[in-house]
Amino acid sequence: MTTLIDAPPSDADALLPLKKKQAGGGLGQYILVRFLLIFPTILILVTMVFFLMRITGDPITAAMGGRLPPEQLQERIHAAGYDRPLMMQYFEYLGQLVTGNFGTTLSDNRKVTEMLTTYGAATLELSINAIIVALLVGIPLGMVAAHRRDHLPDAVLRILAILFYATPVFFAGMLLKLVFSVWLGWLPVAGRAGTRTELSLTALQAPTGIYWLDALRSGNMAALSDVMSHAVLPALALGLLTAGVFLRLVRTNVIGTLGKDYVEAGRSRGVSEFRLVTKHAYKPALIPIITVMGLQIAVLLGGAVLTETTFEWKGLGFQLANYLTARDFVAVQGIVVLLAVIVAVTNFIVDIIAALIDPRVRY
């Protein structure tokens, strides 16, 4: 949500002191402390999820309850060790995590690590596509809006940005599906690729799991176009949500830098208005966007759950929804831990960038 609250227009002046006087010993220490903070962050999330999930009961009853007679259920609970004290299970689970053992899913009996890499690739592909859409749409439109500030294009674009934000991903996806797949019949309704393409891609040696990359490597153009046509609608649905955020950010920041003296100086020297926006005002305005882009990862991952469900895109989010419905807590914990690691590391990088830009951030 705070994604929508504008970051304050970039303070280009704040950048200068850093260049003049070197950051000093504070920065190295800050980076170290901030790096060490990654671990408690992950630990907190893992702990929260572990105990919250256990409040609702043990995983086996949750997953199999009603489908097995009570004696058998008791047997399986005992065999898996779920009848031991909770703290013992917790520390055992932590120990397993440290050694990279995420356990085996209850509902479909797969290794969690294998499940994570398979579906993680699909989610990664979707996220990359969405970010590309967001950047391609958001940045140019934001510059146009800033340039034509308070005129009709600005008004239209600002309302458009809010509209992008106000439309839930799944509703946008549903509308796109309805228009382009069902009514016009241009694009496939759901999935990541046609059955034949999917088979040919998984048969590759050492597939990356990112379909367009695999298709490109195998040189199979038919597969590539099939993958692309499947990717368009999910990428649009998820990307436009983020595009709205980028549009607003670019607009606000470019407006901020357009008012600076050096831009005025450029203008007085006869630099064209177009060049002023695209060269002079744009670059300093990009810095806060980089940090916000890091924060957008969390929004993207959340949106991915909804987008994947809408388009039956078999990634982490789609699976997460399935595992949650099946009450497969081992799988859910695995996915949450992976997401926690991604989020914690991204946040670390974002904070370091922010500290490099603005020394006041450090505490």
Partner 1 sequence: MSANTTIEPVANPRAPLFRRLPVVSHFNKSMGLQRFMLVVGLVLTGIFLLTALAAPLLAPYGFAQLSDADGSFPTQQAPGGKHLLGTTVGGYDVLSRVIWGTQTALLVIIVAVVLSIFAGVILGLVSGYIGGWLDRILVVVADAIYAFPSLLVAIVMAIVISGGQSSLFGGILAAAISITVVFIPQYFRVIRAETIRLKAEPFVESAKVVGASNVRIMTRHIYRNATRTLPLIFTLNASESILTLAGLGFLGFGIEPSSAAEWGFDLNKALADTTSGIWWTGLFPGLAIVWTVLGLTLVGESINDLNDPRLRGRKRTNRKGSAAAAPAAANGSGPATELSNP
- Binding residues (CB under 8 A) for partner 1: these are 1-2, 4-6, 8-9, 37, 40-42, 44-45, 48-49, 52-53, 55-56, 150, 154-155, 158-159, 162-163, 165-168, 170-171, 174-175, 177-178, 181-183, 189, 252, 255-256, 259, 295, 298-299, 301-303, 305-306, 309-310, 320-321, 324-325, 336, 339-340, 343-344, 346-347, 363
Q: Indicate the residue among 213 and 342 with the shorter CB distance to partner 1.
A: 342
For the bound state, the minimum distance from the C-beta of residue 164 to partner 1, rounded and expressed in Å, comes to 10
Q: Is the dihedral of CA 36, 37, 40, 46 positive or negative?
A: negative
For the bound state, the minimum distance from the C-beta of residue 198 to partner 1, rounded and expressed in Å, comes to 19
Q: Indicate the residue among 1 and 206 with the shorter CB distance to partner 1.
A: 1
For the bound state, the minimum distance from the C-beta of residue 340 to partner 1, rounded and expressed in Å, comes to 7
Q: Indicate the residue among 201 and 281 with the shorter CB distance to partner 1.
A: 281
Q: Indicate the residue among 288 and 303 with the shorter CB distance to partner 1.
A: 303
Q: Indicate the residue among 135 and 345 with the shorter CB distance to partner 1.
A: 345
Q: Indicate the residue among 73 and 189 with the shorter CB distance to partner 1.
A: 189
For the bound state, the minimum distance from the C-beta of residue 20 to partner 1, rounded and expressed in Å, comes to 20
For the bound state, the minimum distance from the C-beta of residue 348 to partner 1, rounded and expressed in Å, comes to 10
**Could you tell me if 319 and 335 are in contact, meaning their C-beta atoms sit under 8 angstroms apart?**
yes
For the bound state, the minimum distance from the C-beta of residue 127 to partner 1, rounded and expressed in Å, comes to 12
